[in-house]
Amino acid sequence: MSRDAKSSNLVKGAVPRRGRGVNSRRSQVYEILLERLKSGELQPGMRLREAELADMLEVSRTPVREALARLQARGLAEQGASGVVVAQLTRAQTFELYAMRAALEGTAARMAAESATSVDLDMLRLTAERFAASGQGAAKLAETNKQFHDVIVASAHNRYLARMLADLTDSLALLPNTTFAKPGRATEAVDEHRAILSAIETRDADAAENAARQHIEKALQARLSLMFD
């Protein structure tokens, strides 16, 4: 099945009839497309046909056009030779993305070491244990890994940092597969999670930031191996 044909089957179903006006409809269309991208149903390079999307979502072309423009403004879609397509990240862009992720995740771990409550620490221990017990299924490992990182961000208690990391996570959806598809990566990550958790538990902010940065740098190496080797 071609990418264009595949896209026709991904977004069928009308936009829910909630809210009023073009702004509400535009936001709903944007959120639907974003969720399809994050779920992997919309793949890098896939054509996003304005007319087809409008027909499938049972909306006019205006909110679709504006939703696509918003995706382009965020770097999630781009203008290809035949129209708007889901963006494809280059090697350089992948480095840039992970550099920002290391900086933000490191800051989150530092803040968590300084601000985590006893409940936060319990949740961190629980999610770290869940990851270690997730087995070898790459999809399950990716899901529980995200939960661990989400708890770290929540433990930082900084809404602006959380917002920046949420935006970054959207861009990470442009990367194919998961780093846990690389043999041995899950075992490494278990140890890396334990190092981050230990530093947060002992309130060692420097060690927490360094451990989180090293974790993301290891993830980058696995990502590059999967994408470009």
Query: The whole model's pTM is what?
Result: 0.81
Task: Look up the CATH number of the domain holding residue 147.
Answer: 1.20.120.530
pLDDT of residue 48: 93
Q: Tell me the C-alpha distance between 167 and 157, whole Å.
A: 17
Looking at the structure, do residues 77 and 131 belong to the same domain, yes or no? no
Final residue belonging to a domain, choices 22, 57, 86: 86
Q: Tell me the C-alpha distance between 65 and 104, whole Å.
A: 32
pLDDT of residue 184: 92
Instruction: Give pLDDT tens digits along the chain (229 positions).
Output: 334 434 434 445 555 555 445 557 778 899 999 988 888 888 889 999 999 999 888 888 999 999 999 999 999 999 988 899 999 899 999 999 999 999 999 999 999 999 999 999 999 999 999 999 987 688 889 999 999 999 999 999 999 999 999 999 889 889 878 899 999 999 999 999 999 999 999 999 999 999 999 999 999 999 999 887 6
Looking at the structure, do residues 121 and 146 belong to the same domain, yes or no? yes
Final residue belonging to a domain, choices 46, 66, 86: 86
Q: Could you list the residue range(s) of the whole structural domain that residue 159 is in? A: 91-228
Looking at the structure, do residues 75 and 172 belong to the same domain, yes or no? no
Task: Look up the CATH number of the domain holding residue 16.
Answer: 1.10.10.10
